Amino acid sequence: MAWVRRAGILLTVLVLALAVGGAAAGAKKKHKKKGKAWGSEVTLTHPAGTQFKGVVGSKLQACRSSRVVTLIYTDPNSGQTSPLSVQRTDGNGGYHVTLTTPAYPGTYQVEVAQRKIRAMKAPQTCLSKTSAAVNI
């Protein structure tokens, strides 16, 4: 009769295991909200001999403020590029670069770095962008 008792215990354990496993499988899973990649736009102007300024734009307002902007100079003779200044945008996306000496002849561009932020209760990605070239 011991084997009947063991079979009954084994059957009870099996039923409980299936019940717990089925409850866990039927439980709702929390889904992470997927973020979106937001495009960026950047402008560059040269209003004075030592000044550059522009605006970073995006449909998502959080992608405009505190973006890293790098002013890049390209030498017309050698074709080498070098970063001249790194700035952060203000709350509206504007930035301002003042050089210590007048700008050399060549091509200037601005590059906005990609940035991951949290906005609209989900992670968002602000994509990088390079401005049109300004020749001096």
CATH number at residue 95: 2.60.40
Burial code (b: 16+ CB inside 10 Å, e: under 16) for 6-25 equals eeeeeeeeeeeeeeeeeeee
Whose CA is closest to 111, among 81, 90, 136? 81
Domain contains 4: no
Domain membership flag for residue 9:
no
Based on the structure, what is the number of domains in the chain? 1
Model confidence at 9, in pLDDT bands (50, 70, 90)? Answer: confident
**Per-residue pLDDT reduced to its tens digit, 17-72:** 666 665 555 556 666 667 889 999 999 999 998 999 999 999 999 999 999 999 99
CA distances from 121 to 32, 33, 66, 117, 118 (A): 10, 8, 19, 10, 7
Residue 121 backbone class (left: φ over 0; alpha: ψ -120 to 50; beta: rest) = left
User: How many Å separate Cα 70 from the centre of its chain?
Assistant: 16
Residue 120 pLDDT? 86
| Residue positions counted in the chain | 136
Asked whether residue 42 is domain-assigned, the answer is yes
Residue-level pLDDT at 40:
94
Kindly state the average pLDDT of the residues 68-83.
Answer: 94
Q: Model pTM? A: 0.72
CA–CA distance, 61 with 83 (Å, rounded to integer): 27
Which residue range is the domain that position 56 belongs to? 37-135
| The predicted structure's pLDDT at residue 61 | 92
Domain membership flag for residue 58: yes
Per-residue pLDDT tens digits for 84-132: 999 999 999 999 999 999 999 999 999 999 999 999 889 999 999 999 9
